[in-house]
Structure 1
Amino acid sequence: MCGIAGVARIDGNDLSQEADGLLSAFAHTLAHRGPDDRRLLREGPVGMAFNRLSLVDPNNGAQPLVSADGKVVLIVNGEVYNHRELAAGLPGVRLSTGSDCEVLLPLYQRDGLRFLDRVNGMFAFVLWDKERRLLLLGRDRFGIKPLYFHRDRARVVFASEIKALFADAATPRRLDWNRALGEYDMNATPGFAHGRVTTWFEDIELVPPGVIVELSLKDGASKEHRYWRLPDPDAASETSDEEYAARFRDLLVSSVADCATADTDLGLFLSGGIDSAAVAALAPGGTLRTFTALTPGTVLNGDARGGRRTAELLGLPNHQVLIGSERVPSPQEWRDLVWLGETPLVGPEIFYKFELHRFARQNFPEIKGMLLGAAADEINGGYIPQFAGEGGDWDDFEANLRDLYRRQALQRNPKFGHWWEHDGVPLLNDAAIDPGTPYADDPYRGYFAWQYRTLEQYNVWHEDRTAAGMSTEARVPFLDHRLVELVARIPARRRAALVWDKRIVREAMKGVLPEEIRTRPKGYFFYGDGARHTNRFLTRLLAQDGAELLEQALATENARRFLSADGMRTALDRLTRSPNTENVELLLRLVNLGLLDGMTAQLPAPPAEAAPRPRPVELTVTDWEREQDDIVARVAAEPELSRTVPYALADNVLLVTAPALPDTWFVAVDGSFEYEISAADDAAWLALLQALDGDALTLPDALAKAGVEFEAVAELFREALAVGLVTAQPAEREPAER
């Protein structure tokens, strides 16, 4: 991993000596991405800055790289995994360094813009063709490595991170509020999101994945050359399920071997799921250090225990990194993390992963690369069962996709709404609503393309930043383009058998992983059984120190124009009484937007100079079965519930039954039956809910009215508070403003 940046004149002129200061500022801002070496180059119209983290050939891989004839100059952030194979196909070419990226120079000189067609790796590069007076900016097929740029009529500036561009006084520093608030990943609206991702800032562009941007240094003219795109399904394929799984296994073996190639030590983030376990099992050497997040969610849903068990079965050292319910970052820590991430989507997952990287780097500084199981869910169907709904199957998943597509199409063409359904009977075909879409006949292709975009907007974006923040390179074996192409080409008739709940991965790992790992259900960092702890963590984060983060987010002129200060304060006040996952995450994203807006006006220190944080610690576990109660108490401590605050069912909650089912009660939320309660099996819980139905009572009074002991309902009561079924009632009217 490296940090690359630079500036070029695109009006036919050369850079002046003043550009040297700008190049130094770029390199200084990106110091965290490459602490091992720093090089600056200014020649004619082009200036380049390079910060190196050396994983391959540490002593002989400095950049910029220059072709043998001196006509082409190159800086690259990333790895070319098949560089030896590519070099072998260049007879008569002698490379001058051990850098895996140098092979790109003779490839370009031979193949022109087709030079990336056979390259396998993760990379972002800037190439200067002196003879043709061209500047090329390009990225790998999935955008694993970032490259941003801003251009005007006279010049272009480019960098691995947006914050480096802001070191240039001529680059605008304006948050793109309108686009940010409409971004699907930002507002948690399910939908087929396609097209280019947002950079969150006005006039800051991101080189698209699988694309080379060509800029003329003579007149600024630009072109885009797409060298890769997602393939279409192969309807004619006669490949069997077994053959697909075998091919997937072979490609994953190759990809893991590629990603594990380094001249320094590597580590692995190990969860309890099959993805990171597969990488661990296939990684060569057998001495990989593994790191598992010990959060309330991963402890309560069994994921952390599963990670430890996987390490035991594979004979790998495992470090359980304690990130308990009491670990709430300070406002300064959170601002630094948002600035490092450069995205309002910073949340619990990004915080937990950064803590893992901090622990690994501080305790094992020889580890410079981290293997991840990331992206397997998005590409191989890990989230499909969720889209099918509880108890749903593949047919339900496809029906829900069609419904989602239809609703989005009707939003774009509302005049068709009346005609599509009349008296419960559809009168128009789905394709008629939005004939321009390529996915009307196959919504799954739209889903796959949506997941591909999400990878760039969220997954690889934050995996890069959290690793780079600790001078570590993230490596993602599941984002080998050969693997993704294989899955994308699966014909429609084979999808249910291969991509429901990642079946292709599970089948591929037969005989490679122990069965208890291969068949283990997916776990989560912070959802599931630990959701209430995550809710409380985020609420405490926002409420601490007089709601410092929220108030700072509201401090800029633009924030006050777009955000309702009274509404956000009231929302936080409600959350402190009854945290809710969806509501608190949405509020946090708005706070993050406001923080980013403020930080662009007054730039924080570079990440390498960020304020110190508490040192992460490891919880040593010798026997999980015997120590489980102590582990839960240490990681997922429950706060004391107030005995003086009144509680009641939320305003949108009804407790109902039917004469025909006298022993069954239902909890309706917003008019929809969400929970079923058996009067025989859950008598204590039903009695407490009945006591709180219509009356606001303190907990002792409610328990006395119901005639139950708290121990009998404690877990359910805490869960009801977490999801908002029961709310703490304000002692007086809610505050409207401060």
Structure 2
Amino acid sequence: MCGIAGMAVRNGLTVTPADRADVDTMIATLTHRGPDGTRAVYDATCAVAFSRLAIVDPPGGQQPFSSADGMITVLVNGEIFNHEQLRAGVRPGYRWQGRSDTEAVLARYESTGISGLKALRGMYAAVVVDRREQAVYLLRDRLGIKPLFYSSRGGRLVFASEIKALLAAPGAGRAPGFDWVTALADPAINGHIAAPAGPPPSYFTDISQLPAAHVLRFDLATGALRLEEYWRLGEAAEAFRERHGTQQWSAREWTAAYRELLQEAVTDSLMSDVEIGCFLSGGVDSTVIAAIAARQDNAIHCFSVCSDSTLANGDAYFAQEAAASLGLPHHQVDFTGPGCEVTADSYLELLKLCETPLLSPEQFFKFQLHRYAKQTRPGLKVMLTGQGSDEFNGGYTTLFGTDWDANLDGLGYLAEGRAALDAGLPVTVWNEHFNRRLLTPAAHPRGAGVWETYVAGKSRDLQTYNCWHEDRTASGNGVENRVPFLDHRLVELCMAVPQPLRAELLWDKRILRQSAREWLPERFADRPKVPFFYGPKRHAAHQAMLDALRADHAALFEHAMSGPGAQEYLDTAAMRRTLSDFEADPRLGNFEFFARLVNMALLDKLAGSPGALRLRPGADGAPVALRRAEPVPSPGAGGSPVVESAVYTLAPDVMALTPLHTDDEWYVAVNGTVEYVLPLPDSDDWRRVVMALDGRRTLGEAVRAADVKLVGVEELLVESLEAGIVTRLEGSTG
């Protein structure tokens, strides 16, 4: 995890001493990304600087790297996993300076030009300054794992690894503020039922995020910009089929190929001259990565979150059991006790680090887990994670239906919403006329193309959320995240699976689960997907954020509302009333969307002050009391209120009613008064489970009788237990 900052100017302009000072200021904002040293290269047309996190060839890998004649300079943030193969292809007699993977990029470019860099395999954001060709190139890996942002005006190109660097120097193309219009309209932020589309935004005006799999060329002679895509997922999938001759492959052969590539991807991610750790959630994604890595290094330390949510959903227990099964050292960090509060100061510092309106409890947990790992293992600089598996392996399919076809129907609604947005029409307008769904799934797009459209949207999500926050929460602690599931070869394979086999291989990540049995017992390979914190007890995590906003007479909230953007785009009086409403809402419904609006207002204020997004030297981001958790009991032994072998029933004063005059909703009455109205079919799984809770059958039996999955209704069951709607029979242990 390193930091890049730089400026290039067209012919007729010159990089001045003031410009160099701006670049120095920019790179100073990124020292958290590269605490092992900073170096810069300046000339009349370019100024580039690099802050390094030394992972490969620590003594000899200092960047930037320049050619022997000084005409070409290269900077790379990330890792090039096939750099040894690239070295083998360089002309004989090339004089190598060391073992750095970045030097292999320089040598490859000298031999082949920019087109040859398509052969890079890894995770990277890179800059190439070619003074012979009079060009500066910015390029990003195929999935956008490593960040790179830029701004261009008046014949100047300014670029950096994080937005805060572009905002830090007044003379370096600083943008005027937060891009409210883009952020408010983005389905990824506002929760609109539509597949996201278009290039990934930065959410700041006059600043662009370089899209994944793209090269930006800046012409030093004219100042012209040219953006080109060098890899497209659909074309790459077709090339995979042709390259491997998959026309007659069976599901077993697809799985075998996946298993082989997964092992290679994890092995590549172990490339390091420093200590590596692993985030272990207890799900199949992180567990299979830990299992493969353990076969090559059984001293890899694993780190897990122990919170109200992970206790309730079973992650804390399964992470503990997985580490024990693999024989790996395990650190389960306790986030449940006193001292784990989020303060207004830590909230703001983490927002400055992540610089996105999508800041949520997930980032607090992951930042603190990296912090704990770094404090307990000071030599650790690399962390393996399971990020990116769900997006391409079919991890979210069970959210959209009960089988593959139903999943496609659900994705059809997203595609319809996207089409409606593009046409400037309300989503599902026919349904909105009558406040109920009148159209059948046949009216929605599905089948060929729907899956591809959905995955394209998830690829964008990776760049605007998943990889973005994973990068920031790690880099804020001097750690580099590595994501084996985003090896582009694995992604190409998943997208190449033909339609007739998708139900068999991509429904509920079956291709991964079948492959994982090579390394894991079935109880880990087949464990159902559960949300990290968006499940039972998620309100506890949101409560911590709410407390930070309300602290000291809501000082942080009022600071946000006082900004010019909040005054223009938000009804601040209504925002204050909504903040007060949360005091009486223990479930904190829709709080995450409220927090996003507050985050926008805070980012707008920060963007308006030069250098305001710069992190405080030595700031640790949050005062979490870091400590290892006690051993976690198995679910049903005090680790979760939800026990499959226990017997539940409606509380004595509660009735579930389906009225005769409509089949579009059902009621829950308490003491004869209707307290809850739930729409159908959205809540139908829960309704069937409630009807099956007869006080005789166990929960597991009731769920099977209702023909649903427990994971799909577990959150509502926990909430119903806490609200006194459902009760567990005393002495019921199964």
- TM norm structure 1: 0.84
Q: Is 1:619 paired with 2:628?
A: yes
Assess if the C-alpha contact under 8 Å between 1:60 and 1:97 holds in 2: yes
Assess if the C-alpha contact under 8 Å between 2:35 and 2:51 holds in 1: yes
Q: Cα distance, 1:231 vs. partner?
A: 2.4
Q: Is 1:239 paired with 2:249?
A: yes
Instruction: For 2:48, give the aligned amino acid.
Output: M
The 3 A distance-change label for structure 1 pair 132 and 554 is: same
The SS at the match of 1:189 is coil
Q: Cα distance, 1:657 vs. partner?
A: 5.2
The SS at the match of 1:174 is coil
Q: Cα distance, 1:598 vs. partner?
A: 1.1
Question: In terms of mean alpha carbon deviation, does 456-465 or 146-155 score higher?
Answer: 146-155
Aligned match for 1:394, one of 397, 404, 407: 404
The SS at the match of 2:8 is strand
The 3 A distance-change label for structure 1 pair 59 and 411 is: closer
The 3 A distance-change label for structure 1 pair 426 and 531 is: closer
Assess if the C-alpha contact under 8 Å between 1:79 and 1:122 holds in 2: yes
Count of residues in correspondence between the two structures:
661
Assess if the C-alpha contact under 8 Å between 2:168 and 2:613 holds in 1: no
Question: In terms of mean alpha carbon deviation, does 551-560 or 461-470 score higher?
Answer: 551-560
Q: Deviations over 1:393-416 (max 9, x none)?
A: 111111122233234434544599
Question: In terms of mean alpha carbon deviation, does 545-554 or 73-82 score higher?
Answer: 545-554
The 3 A distance-change label for structure 1 pair 12 and 254 is: farther
CA distance in 1 between partners of 2:480 and 2:397 (Å): 30
> What RMSD, in angstroms, separates the aligned Cα atoms of the two structures?
3.2
Q: Is 1:293 paired with 2:293?
A: no
Assess if the C-alpha contact under 8 Å between 1:55 and 1:262 holds in 2: yes
Q: Is 1:53 paired with 2:72?
A: no
Q: Deviations over 1:228-258 (max 9, x none)?
A: 1102565873211111111111111111111
What residue number does 1:343 align with?
356
Instruction: For 1:385, give the aligned amino acid.
Output: T
Q: Is 1:564 paired with 2:568?
A: no
What residue number does 2:707 align with?
none
Aligned match for 2:208, one of 205, 210, 225: 205
What residue number does 2:453 align with?
446
Q: Is 1:192 paired with 2:195?
A: yes
Question: In terms of mean alpha carbon deviation, does 409-418 or 206-215 score higher?
Answer: 409-418
Q: Cα distance, 1:578 vs. partner?
A: 1.1
What residue number does 2:103 align with?
102
Aligned match for 1:460, one of 454, 458, 467: 467
What residue number does 1:70 align with?
70
The SS at the match of 1:465 is helix
Q: Deviations over 1:356-413 (max 9, x none)?
A: 011011121100111111110111111110111xxx1111111122233234434544
The 3 A distance-change label for structure 1 pair 444 and 719 is: farther
CA distance in 2 between partners of 1:22 and 1:302 (Å): 49
What residue number does 2:534 align with?
527
Question: In terms of mean alpha carbon deviation, does 222-231 or 576-585 score higher?
Answer: 576-585
Assess if the C-alpha contact under 8 Å between 2:317 and 2:634 holds in 1: no
Assess if the C-alpha contact under 8 Å between 1:535 and 1:579 holds in 2: no
What residue number does 1:215 align with?
218
Assess if the C-alpha contact under 8 Å between 2:341 and 2:623 holds in 1: no
Instruction: For 1:84, give the aligned amino acid.
Output: E
The 3 A distance-change label for structure 1 pair 616 and 144 is: farther
Q: Cα distance, 1:211 vs. partner?
A: 0.8
The 3 A distance-change label for structure 1 pair 681 and 237 is: same
Instruction: For 1:75, give the aligned amino acid.
Output: L
Assess if the C-alpha contact under 8 Å between 1:104 and 1:115 holds in 2: no
Assess if the C-alpha contact under 8 Å between 1:143 and 1:460 holds in 2: yes
Give the % identical residues.
Answer: 35
Assess if the C-alpha contact under 8 Å between 1:321 and 1:617 holds in 2: yes
The 3 A distance-change label for structure 1 pair 357 and 721 is: farther
What residue number does 2:379 align with?
366
The 3 A distance-change label for structure 1 pair 666 and 237 is: farther
Assess if the C-alpha contact under 8 Å between 1:538 and 1:584 holds in 2: no
What residue number does 2:157 align with?
156
Instruction: For 2:25, give the aligned amino acid.
Output: A
Question: In terms of mean alpha carbon deviation, does 178-187 or 612-621 score higher?
Answer: 612-621
Assess if the C-alpha contact under 8 Å between 1:11 and 1:153 holds in 2: no
Q: Is 1:512 paired with 2:519?
A: yes
What residue number does 1:550 align with?
557
CA distance in 1 between partners of 2:391 and 2:279 (Å): 18
The 3 A distance-change label for structure 1 pair 285 and 441 is: closer
The SS at the match of 2:117 is coil
Question: In terms of mean alpha carbon deviation, does 478-487 or 555-564 score higher?
Answer: 555-564
Q: Cα distance, 1:622 vs. partner?
A: 4.5
Note the 1:126-205 alignment, pairs <5 A: 126-170=127-171, 171-205=174-208
What residue number does 2:38 align with?
38
Assess if the C-alpha contact under 8 Å between 2:298 and 2:328 holds in 1: yes
CA distance in 2 between partners of 1:312 and 1:495 (Å): 34
What residue number does 2:365 align with?
352
Note the 1:411-422 alignment, pairs <5 A: 411-413=421-423, 414=425
What residue number does 1:116 align with?
117
CA distance in 2 between partners of 1:714 and 1:304 (Å): 17
Question: In terms of mean alpha carbon deviation, does 68-77 or 57-66 score higher?
Answer: 68-77
Aligned match for 1:269, one of 279, 283, 296: 279
The 3 A distance-change label for structure 1 pair 671 and 515 is: closer
Instruction: For 1:229, give the aligned amino acid.
Output: R
The SS at the match of 1:450 is helix
CA distance in 1 between partners of 2:337 and 2:632 (Å): 22
What residue number does 1:376 align with?
389
The 3 A distance-change label for structure 1 pair 152 and 654 is: farther
Q: Cα distance, 1:84 vs. partner?
A: 0.5
Assess if the C-alpha contact under 8 Å between 1:296 and 1:325 holds in 2: no
What residue number does 1:701 align with?
none
Q: Is 1:474 paired with 2:481?
A: yes
Q: Deviations over 1:307-354 (max 9, x none)?
A: 010000000010011112652210010000001001010101111100
The SS at the match of 2:247 is coil
The SS at the match of 2:378 is coil
CA distance in 2 between partners of 1:223 and 1:99 (Å): 29
Q: Cα distance, 1:226 vs. partner?
A: 1.7
The 3 A distance-change label for structure 1 pair 221 and 658 is: closer
Q: Cα distance, 1:524 vs. partner?
A: 2.4
Assess if the C-alpha contact under 8 Å between 1:380 and 1:487 holds in 2: yes
Aligned match for 1:254, one of 242, 250, 264: 264
Instruction: For 1:199, give the aligned amino acid.
Output: S
The 3 A distance-change label for structure 1 pair 221 and 505 is: same
Q: Deviations over 1:684-734 (max 9, x none)?
A: xxxxxxxxxxxxxxxxxxxxxxxxxxxxx9973535799xxxxxxxxxxxx
CA distance in 2 between partners of 1:547 and 1:494 (Å): 54
Instruction: For 2:18, give the aligned amino acid.
Output: E
The 3 A distance-change label for structure 1 pair 135 and 12 is: farther
Assess if the C-alpha contact under 8 Å between 1:385 and 1:393 holds in 2: yes
The SS at the match of 2:392 is helix
Instruction: For 1:459, give the aligned amino acid.
Output: N
What residue number does 1:573 align with?
580
The 3 A distance-change label for structure 1 pair 45 and 313 is: same
Q: Deviations over 1:97-119 (max 9, x none)?
A: 22111111222222223122221
Assess if the C-alpha contact under 8 Å between 2:313 and 2:640 holds in 1: no
What residue number does 2:345 align with?
332
Instruction: For 1:609, give the aligned amino acid.
Output: P
Instruction: For 2:593, give the aligned amino acid.
Output: L
Q: Cα distance, 1:44 vs. partner?
A: 1.9
Question: In terms of mean alpha carbon deviation, does 487-496 or 522-531 score higher?
Answer: 522-531
- TM norm structure 2: 0.84
CA distance in 1 between partners of 2:693 and 2:51 (Å): 67
Contiguous gaps of at least 5 residues in structure 2: 642-652, 670-675, 697-716, 727-734
Assess if the C-alpha contact under 8 Å between 1:287 and 1:317 holds in 2: yes
What residue number does 2:701 align with?
none
The 3 A distance-change label for structure 1 pair 410 and 679 is: closer
